[in-house]
Amino acid sequence: MQHATPTASPDFDFGRHPFDLLTADQRAALAGALDIALYPREAVILCREEPTDSLFVVLRGTVEERRGGDVARIHGPGDRFGLQALYGAAAGDGTGSHRFVAVEDCVCHLIPRAALEASAAENPAFGTAILGDFAQRMRDLAAERSNREMAALTMARIRQAYLHPPLFVEAAASLRDAAEAMRQNRASSVLVRGADGRTGILTGTDLRDLVVLDGRPVTDPVGPLARYGLLTLDRDDLLFNALVLMTKHAVRRVVVTENGAIVGLLGQSDLLAVLSNHSQVIGVQVEHATGPDDLRRASRSIVELIRTLHATGVKVSFIADLVTELNRRIFRKLFELLAPPELLANSCLIVMGSEGRGEQLLKTDQDNGLILRDGFDCPDLPGFAADFTRHLVEFGYPPCPGNIMVSNPDWTRPLAGYKDAIFSWIHRPDEAAQMNLAIFYDAAPVAGDATLLADAKDYLLGRLQDNQMFFTQFARPALSFDTPSGLFAALFDRRRGEPVDIKKAGIFPIVHGVRALALERHRAETNTVERIQVLAELGALDRKMAGDLVEAFTILSTIRLKARVDLPEPGPEEEGAELAIDNLVYPDRLGKLDHDQFKDCLALVKSFKELIAHHFRLNH
Between CA 299 and CA 394 the distance in angstroms is 10
Q: Which CATH number do you get for residue 205?
A: 3.10.580.10
Report d(CA 518, CA 512) in Å as an integer. 10
Q: Are 227 and 206 in contact (CB under 8 A)?
A: yes
Instruction: Say if strands 253-258 and 232-234 run parallel, antiparallel, or are unpaired.
Output: parallel
DSSP 196: T
Shared-domain flag, residues 432 and 574: no
SS3 418: helix
Q: Which amino acid, 529?
A: V
Strand boundaries in 488-552, DSSP class E? 500-501
Burial class (CB in 10 A: 0-12, 13-18, 19+), 436: buried
Against a cut of 0.75, is the pTM above it?
no
The strands making up 232-234's β-sheet, listed across from edge to edge, are: 232-234, 253-258, 261-267
Q: What is the pLDDT of residue 364?
A: 74
177 and 304, same structural domain? no
484 in any annotated domain: yes
Strand 44-47 with 98-102, pairing: antiparallel
189-193 and 168-170 as β-strands: parallel, antiparallel, unpaired?
A: parallel
The rounded distance, in Å, linking the Cα atoms of 608 and 136 is 38
Q: At what angle do helices 508-520 and 431-441 cross, to 10 degrees?
A: 80
The length of the chain, given as a count of residues: 620
DSSP 431-496: HHHHHHHHHHHT-EEEEE-THHHHHHHHHHHHH----HHHHHHHHGGGGSS----SSHHHHHHHHT
What is the signed CA dihedral for 223, 229, 230, 235, rounded to 10 degrees? 130
Pick the closest to residue 557 from 301, 364, 368, 299 (CA basis): 364
Distance CA 45, CA 100 (A): 6
CATH number at residue 594: 1.20.120
pLDDT at 404: 94
CATH number of the domain where residue 380 is located: 3.30.460.10
My answer on whether 247 and 301 are in the same domain is no
CA 252 – CA 272 distance, rounded (Å): 11
* Residues 261 and 291 both lie in one domain: no
346 shares its domain with 391: yes
**Sign of the torsion angle spanned by Cα atoms 209, 212, 213, 214:** positive
Please choose, from the candidates 300, 299, 293, 320, the residue with its C-alpha nearest in 3D space to the C-alpha of residue 309.
320
DSSP conformational letter for 212 = I
Mark the ranges of the chain whose per-residue pLDDT is less than 50: 1-3, 5-8, 89-96, 135, 138, 141-142, 144-152, 487-490, 492-494, 568-577
| 504 belongs to a structural domain | yes
Q: For residue 134, what is the domain's CATH number?
A: 2.60.120.10
Q: Where are the beta strands (DSSP E) in 118-165?
A: none
Q: Give the C-alpha separation, 594 to 506, whole Å.
A: 14
CA 205, chain centre distance (Å): 39
Is 49 in contact with 98 (CB distance < 8 Å)?
yes
The answer to the question of residue 5 being in a domain is: no
Q: Is residue 485 part of a domain?
A: yes
CA distance 170 to 195: 8
Which residue segment(s) compose the domain that 35 sits in? 19-154
> How are strands ordered across the β-sheet holding 444-448?
412-414, 368-372, 347-351, 444-448
The rounded distance, in Å, linking the Cα atoms of 470 and 426 is: 8
- For 69-92, give the DSSP string: TEEEEEE-TT-EE-HHHHTT---S
User: What would the DSSP string read from start to end of 595-616?
Assistant: HHHHHHHHHHHHHHHHHHHHHT
Q: Are residues 581 and 517 in the same domain?
A: yes
Of 131, 587, 511, 90, the C-alpha closest to 310 is 90
- CB distance 201 to 232 below 8 Å: no
**12 inside domain:** no
Residue type, 32: G
Q: Concatenate the DSSP letters of all residues of 19-80 into one string.
A: GGGS-HHHHHHHHHH-EEEEE-TT-EEEETTS--SEEEEEEES-EEEEETTEEEEEE-TT-E
> Does residue 119 share a domain with residue 39?
yes
Cα of first residue to Cα of last residue in the chain, in angstroms, is 51
Domain count, the chain: 4
CB count within 10 Å of CB 377 equals: 9
Task: For residues 373 and 132, give the distance between their C-alpha atoms in angstroms, rounded to a whole number.
Answer: 63
| Domain shared by 164 and 113, yes or no | no
Strands (E), 113-234: 168-170, 189-193, 199-203, 232-234
Domain boundary residue among 463, 485, 502? Answer: 463
Q: Are residues 305 and 443 in the same domain?
A: yes
The answer to whether 349 and 405 have CB atoms below 8 angstroms apart is no
Q: What is the pLDDT of residue 5?
A: 45
38 is a domain residue: yes
Distance CA 588, CA 610 (A): 28
- Given 222, 246, 276, the domain boundary residue is 276
Domain assignment present for 53: yes
The residue out of 226, 254, 276 marking a domain boundary is 276
150 and 220 in a single domain? The answer is no
Cα Rg, the chain, nearest whole Å: 30
133-172 confidence digits (pLDDT tens): 554 554 554 454 444 444 445 567 888 788 899 999 999 9
Q: What is the DSSP string of 360-403?
A: --S-----EEEEEPTT---TTHHHHHHHHHHHHHHHT-PPPTT-
What are the residues whose beta carbons fall under 8 Å from the beta carbon of 138, sequence distance 6 or more? Answer: 84, 89
Answer yes or no: is 3 within a domain.
Answer: no
Same domain, 128 and 49: yes
The verdict on 598 and 510 lying in the same domain is yes
